[in-house]
Chain A
Amino acid sequence: MQNTDISNPDYFHKVVDCQWACPAHTPVPEYIRLIADRRYADAYMINWKSNVFPGILGRTCDRPCEPACRRGRVEEEPVAICRLKRVAADYKGDLTGRMPPPPTTKNGKRIACVGAGPASLAVARDLAPVGYEVTVFDSFARGGGMIRSQIPKFRLPESVIDEEVGYIEALGVETRYNSTVSSLKSLLDDGYDAVFVGSGAPRGRDLIIPGRQEAAANIHLGIDWLSSVSFGHVETIGRRVIVLGGGNTAMDCCRSARRLGGDDVKVVVRSGFDEMKASPWEKEDAQHEGIPILNFLVPIEFLHQDGKLFGMSFDTVRAEYDASGRRNLVSTGEPPVRIECDDVLVAVGQENSFPWIERDIGIAFDRWGMPKVDALTLQSTNERVFFGGDAAFGPKNIIWAVAHAHQAAISIDKFCNGGDLRDRPAPDVTVISQKMGIHEWSYDNDIRNDLRFKVPHLDLTIALKDIKEEVELGYDEQLAFKEAQRCLNCDVQTVFAPKLCIECDACVDICPVDCITFAEDGPEAELRTRLSAPAVNLTQDLYISDGLKTGRVMAKDEDMCLHCGLCAERCPTGAWDMQQYLIDLAQVSPIKTPTTRQGVMA
């Protein structure tokens, strides 16, 4: 097998599963260590630099990091990364002097951001501090976009949105709220150097089946209804409510309905429970609030009498998989299931909508009505127009919007300065040995056996009374410390120096998870079967090193490594070292962040 090239920044980045899985590549273990050290403001700033909305994401993120977390493989559950992020936001205290100041001089380049959601705001955050004149347009009265309009307040208090949108507005960003952009052409004609479209996926998909028109008064599109609730236009709902759909919007709808007078709320889903798009914890929260989730029911019609909705009928189906593994929902032939209700909330998907983009201004659209956007540069076929967030590639989530925004900002910066957009700036990589003395390491490598700590919740009877009462209380400092200690410090890497190795087997013998093997070389697939523990997880790399005296290779399966450092601890020659690997992705504005190594900001 090829010797592993550990100088390739991607190699060790992949070992930090959480950071690799995060679209914005937030340095998770680094900020978790800072939380354990009660340096909440430092932890917050690391997040703020990388994902722009720590307080918001700490409550609402889709958490791609958590399924990736190594702890979830060696133990039962991943570290509660998302809720630890919230801890950093909750306990950060005073941030005076930490946020970049508005620039004293502008660079003369004007950028328009359409929509004031996470993507546009993150573009503004990246560009404004270095002197760009950024103008953000939104049809609502305040910034935040879907964060403000669609996420219920019991999950995300308004004050958190105000604070984090405020940090960006304070960077000298011009906001034009209450103003709808109705023509991209006229925006381009206004002489902006570049336009960023972060207008989201603002249209809820409808369900056109018999009875839809007749019973329309009691059938509501999920995201529209959520924003009406959010802005106080809707304050009640019928006693019996059916929510259609299996995504996170459906979960927000049913939990909101439960707080607005719906005491018999049901979620009805076409697919099975496990295939639902909603995050597992959101389904759990809904069920905890007494909302049943009924699966394998396909809507037939809305039942109504005298123009009044009184229920729905469903066909019972089962999932069948064809030879190619594609799922088909096949009717069981049982009689239709009737469920009575007063209101229906339709949350079966979202769509993009660009009626305000003229089709003759050089922006190509595909046959699904989506703009053709370069996945790397986020540039459209009109070189001045960039897309990001849900507007670019369809509905995703906040953290993807932020990730797009960072890349779009880099592209816009290069575009305005005549650079090559495909030439992406390299990440900043720091590798530092953690060895302090013979048996001393500058990270806490004592592995705790604690299982994941539950986040305390508000008593349900109180929570269900007020739609604005935040239901999750968040970890307190003690719980946060204990949860932070579950982190395995996967960014502290095992680095092997074959020239120093005497092949004494001490590392092989001590490794608690049988990661390390010294073996005859062979093709990867075959070598994987001959290791101390067979390396069956093909998504995880083998760290291969030759150059040993016996001619064998050192093969380390990264999959289960606890990063406990016992291999380095028991190595007589220092052939193993534990080295902290920090990767900081390039951004337009050089925001300084602290690290665990530094007492003060660098």
Chain B
Amino acid sequence: MTYLSKPKMHHPDLKANALGFTRRDYEGPVSTLCAGCGHDSISAAIIRACYQLNLQPHRIAKMSGIGCSSKTPSYFLGASHGFNSVHGRMPSVLTGANIANRDLIYLGVSGDGDSASIGLGQFAHSIRRGVNMTYIVENNGVYGLTKGQFSATADKGAKNRRGVPNMDEPIDMVSMALQLGATYVGRSFSGDKDQLVPLIEGALMHKGAAFIDCISPCVAFNNHEGSTKSFDYVREHNEAVNRMDVITGRAPITADYAPGEMELVRQHDGTYLKLKKIATDYDPTDRVAVMNYLQEHKARGEIVTGLLYVDSDADDLHGYLNSIDAPFNTLSDADLVPGAAALAKLNASLR
């Protein structure tokens, strides 16, 4: 654990965003995770994404469960709301918070233990309900806090530090999310911020359930020869289908790619996802094709990354429930307690 606090001094040329905040203003206290943890890189990517999108820190709610990954919200967005729930229950707490106050931006941060084991049901239902959120799984394939047992996302045949292989089938969270109706699905790697930051930005701007599976090597227990979640293995087997930029506001959209290589996807809020195709025949809007593509490439041992699927016309839970536009905390007593007459009227309608 690092005992030093990060010095307040910053580079004198550090730029402020449209709100007047520098990137450093989106930081939190120094991480207590192991030095070199992939999760810290994801925290840095979240900080960068929020800074670049000019998000007001106090309009973000970061939610998490239990685990190394779920500790990370302590280390970024120090001026945002946060809720550290019990193990695997982050999706429920997030859903409840979202119902109560739909004006906040919800960022769920979880891990492969929190979401693929104890919280698998919670994960599934929050996705299928279309909760408007960014759900990031920091996926390292091991239980770091309990010293490195295989988690439910560990690949079959992957070896632990003593060389013992994993015999269980892995849960592929991306495939599950697609099947359950997530409307924005990405996969990335903590060691590739150029890819990860825009992916998080796109998710934060997406209306509906946005899910990102981020492979995040555990330097203490899963970064050895024989691991399929190590820096070296992921770099060797990484097959990106596209590269993305998020274009907000009035920023000019320049076509710096040859026709057919670039695709623009307009999101619900008017931002554009500018996709540079790497796999030329890959269509991130065709859900069935995407699912097939992922299975084919997985069978070849490839880790497919990038913006895998997006439905830019998606609605969310509030739309399905036809709930009130205003956050509950802005409603008056009269709105919330309409009185005996209203109750009687309601009861009468049900008789």
Binding site for B on A (CB under 8 A): 73-75, 439, 445-447, 449, 502-506, 508-510, 512-514, 533-534, 536, 549-550, 560, 562, 564, 566, 569-573
In this assembly, does B227 line the interface, its C-beta being within 8 Å of a C-beta of chain A?
no
Roughly how many angstroms separate A533 CA and B232 CA in the complex, as a whole number?
27
* A74-B9 contact, Cβ under 8 Å, with A445-B4, A506-B37, A509-B40: yes
* Candidate in A446, A562, A566 with the most chain B CB atoms within 10 angstroms: A566
How far apart are B338's CB and chain A's nearest CB, in angstroms?
51
How far apart are B195's CB and chain A's nearest CB, in angstroms?
13
- On whether the beta carbons of A514 and B219 are closer than 8 Å, the reply is no
* A572-B35 contact, Cβ under 8 Å, with A504-B217, A504-B231: yes
Roughly how many angstroms separate A573 CA and B219 CA in the complex, as a whole number?
9
- Near A by CB (< 8 A), chain B positions 1-23 give 1-14
- On whether the beta carbons of A506 and B6 are closer than 8 Å, the reply is no
- On whether the beta carbons of A550 and B235 are closer than 8 Å, the reply is yes
Residues of A within 8 A of B129 (CB): none
Task: Report the contact-size class of chain B (Cβ under 8 Å from the partner).
Answer: 35 or more
- On whether the beta carbons of B219 and A560 are closer than 8 Å, the reply is no
Residue in chain B with minimal CB distance to A565: B4
Contact with A along B221-251 (1 / 0, CB 8 A): 0010000000110010000000000000000
Partner of B35, one of A75, A534, A570: A570
Partner of A447, one of B2, B9, B36, B38: B9
Roughly how many angstroms separate A509 CA and B43 CA in the complex, as a whole number?
9
In this assembly, does B44 line the interface, its C-beta being within 8 Å of a C-beta of chain A?
yes
Residues of A within 8 A of B80 (CB): none
Residue in chain A with minimal CB distance to B219: A572
Roughly how many angstroms separate A406 CA and B141 CA in the complex, as a whole number?
63
Roughly how many angstroms separate A549 CA and B30 CA in the complex, as a whole number?
28
Residues of B within 8 A of A572 (CB): 34-37, 219
- On whether the beta carbons of A506 and B223 are closer than 8 Å, the reply is no
Roughly how many angstroms separate A566 CA and B10 CA in the complex, as a whole number?
14
Contact with A along B169-195 (1 / 0, CB 8 A): 000000000000000000000110100
Roughly how many angstroms separate A564 CA and B44 CA in the complex, as a whole number?
19
Residues of B within 8 A of A74 (CB): 9, 11-12
- On whether the beta carbons of B8 and A449 are closer than 8 Å, the reply is yes
Roughly how many angstroms separate A431 CA and B144 CA in the complex, as a whole number?
37
Contact with A along B188-222 (1 / 0, CB 8 A): 00110100000000000000000000000101000
* A573-B4 contact, Cβ under 8 Å, with A449-B9, A504-B219, A512-B10: no
Partner of A560, one of B8, B12, B231: B12
- On whether the beta carbons of A502 and B11 are closer than 8 Å, the reply is no
- Near A by CB (< 8 A), chain B positions 67-90 give none
Residues of B within 8 A of A562 (CB): 7, 9
A-B contact pairs, 16 of them (CB 8 A): A73-B12, A74-B11, A447-B8, A504-B38, A505-B191, A505-B193, A514-B10, A514-B11, A549-B232, A549-B235, A562-B7, A562-B9, A566-B2, A566-B4, A572-B34, A572-B219
In this assembly, does B271 line the interface, its C-beta being within 8 Å of a C-beta of chain A?
no
In this assembly, does B41 line the interface, its C-beta being within 8 Å of a C-beta of chain A?
yes
Roughly how many angstroms separate A512 CA and B217 CA in the complex, as a whole number?
23
Residues of A within 8 A of B36 (CB): 502, 504, 506, 570-573
* A75-B9 contact, Cβ under 8 Å, with A446-B4, A533-B14: yes
Residues of A within 8 A of B2 (CB): 439, 566, 569-570
Partner of A513, one of B11, B43, B232: B11
Roughly how many angstroms separate A549 CA and B232 CA in the complex, as a whole number?
9
* Candidate in A505, A534, A562 with the most chain B CB atoms within 10 angstroms: A505
Q: Is the interface of A mostly helix, strand, loop or mixed?
A: loop
Residues of B within 8 A of A504 (CB): 36-38, 41, 190-191, 217, 219, 231
How far apart are A537's CB and chain B's nearest CB, in angstroms?
10
Residues of B within 8 A of A509 (CB): 40-41, 43-44
Roughly how many angstroms separate A549 CA and B233 CA in the complex, as a whole number?
12
Residues of B within 8 A of A502 (CB): 36, 219, 223, 231-232
- On whether the beta carbons of B13 and A534 are closer than 8 Å, the reply is yes
Roughly how many angstroms separate A245 CA and B341 CA in the complex, as a whole number?
93
Residue in chain B with minimal CB distance to A509: B44
Roughly how many angstroms separate A562 CA and B6 CA in the complex, as a whole number?
11
Residues of B within 8 A of A514 (CB): 10-11, 14
* A564-B217 contact, Cβ under 8 Å, with A504-B38, A573-B36: no
- On whether the beta carbons of B35 and A569 are closer than 8 Å, the reply is yes
Residues of B within 8 A of A536 (CB): 13
Residue in chain B with minimal CB distance to A448: B7
How far apart are A531's CB and chain B's nearest CB, in angstroms?
10
- On whether the beta carbons of A439 and B41 are closer than 8 Å, the reply is no
How far apart are A72's CB and chain B's nearest CB, in angstroms?
11
Residue in chain A with minimal CB distance to B23: A514
- On whether the beta carbons of A513 and B10 are closer than 8 Å, the reply is yes
- On whether the beta carbons of B4 and A564 are closer than 8 Å, the reply is yes
- On whether the beta carbons of A503 and B191 are closer than 8 Å, the reply is yes
How far apart are B299's CB and chain A's nearest CB, in angstroms?
26
- On whether the beta carbons of B41 and A560 are closer than 8 Å, the reply is no
Residue in chain B with minimal CB distance to A447: B7
Roughly how many angstroms separate A75 CA and B1 CA in the complex, as a whole number?
28
Roughly how many angstroms separate A513 CA and B31 CA in the complex, as a whole number?
17
Partner of B40, one of A449, A506, A573: A506
Residues of B within 8 A of A73 (CB): 12
- On whether the beta carbons of A513 and B41 are closer than 8 Å, the reply is no
Residues of A within 8 A of B7 (CB): 447, 449, 512, 562, 564
* Candidate in A439, A446, A512, A564 with the most chain B CB atoms within 10 angstroms: A512
How far apart are B218's CB and chain A's nearest CB, in angstroms?
10
- On whether the beta carbons of A569 and B41 are closer than 8 Å, the reply is no
Roughly how many angstroms separate A73 CA and B3 CA in the complex, as a whole number?
26
Roughly how many angstroms separate A395 CA and B34 CA in the complex, as a whole number?
57
Residue in chain A with minimal CB distance to B193: A505
- On whether the beta carbons of A533 and B235 are closer than 8 Å, the reply is no
Q: Given contact pairs A446-B4, A505-B191, A534-B13, enumerate 13 new A-B contacts (beta carbons under 8 Å).
A: A74-B9, A449-B8, A504-B190, A505-B41, A506-B36, A506-B40, A508-B44, A509-B41, A512-B7, A512-B24, A533-B14, A566-B4, A573-B36
* A566-B6 contact, Cβ under 8 Å, with A502-B223, A503-B231, A506-B35: yes
Roughly how many angstroms separate A560 CA and B4 CA in the complex, as a whole number?
19
* Candidate in B3, B4, B34, B40 with the most chain A CB atoms within 10 angstroms: B4
Residue in chain B with minimal CB distance to A441: B4
How far apart are A440's CB and chain B's nearest CB, in angstroms?
9
What 10 pairs across the A-B complex have the smallest Cβ distances? A572-B36, A447-B7, A509-B44, A572-B219, A504-B36, A533-B11, A570-B35, A513-B11, A506-B36, A572-B35
Residues of B within 8 A of A449 (CB): 7-9
Roughly how many angstroms separate A570 CA and B31 CA in the complex, as a whole number?
9
Residues of B within 8 A of A512 (CB): 6-10, 24
Roughly how many angstroms separate A550 CA and B236 CA in the complex, as a whole number?
10
Residues of A within 8 A of B235 (CB): 549-550
Partner of A439, one of B1, B5, B231: B1
How far apart are B310's CB and chain A's nearest CB, in angstroms?
26
Roughly how many angstroms separate A449 CA and B223 CA in the complex, as a whole number?
38
- On whether the beta carbons of A439 and B193 are closer than 8 Å, the reply is no
How far apart are B257's CB and chain A's nearest CB, in angstroms?
19
Residues of B within 8 A of A510 (CB): 6, 30, 40
How far apart are B233's CB and chain A's nearest CB, in angstroms?
12
Residue in chain B with minimal CB distance to A574: B35
Roughly how many angstroms separate A512 CA and B10 CA in the complex, as a whole number?
6
Residues of A within 8 A of B40 (CB): 506, 509-510, 570
Residue in chain B with minimal CB distance to A575: B36
- On whether the beta carbons of A439 and B219 are closer than 8 Å, the reply is no
Residue in chain A with minimal CB distance to B45: A509
How far apart are B192's CB and chain A's nearest CB, in angstroms?
9
How far apart are A439's CB and chain B's nearest CB, in angstroms?
6
Residue in chain B with minimal CB distance to A536: B13
Residues of A within 8 A of B232 (CB): 502, 549
Residues of B within 8 A of A549 (CB): 232, 235
Residues of A within 8 A of B219 (CB): 502, 504, 572
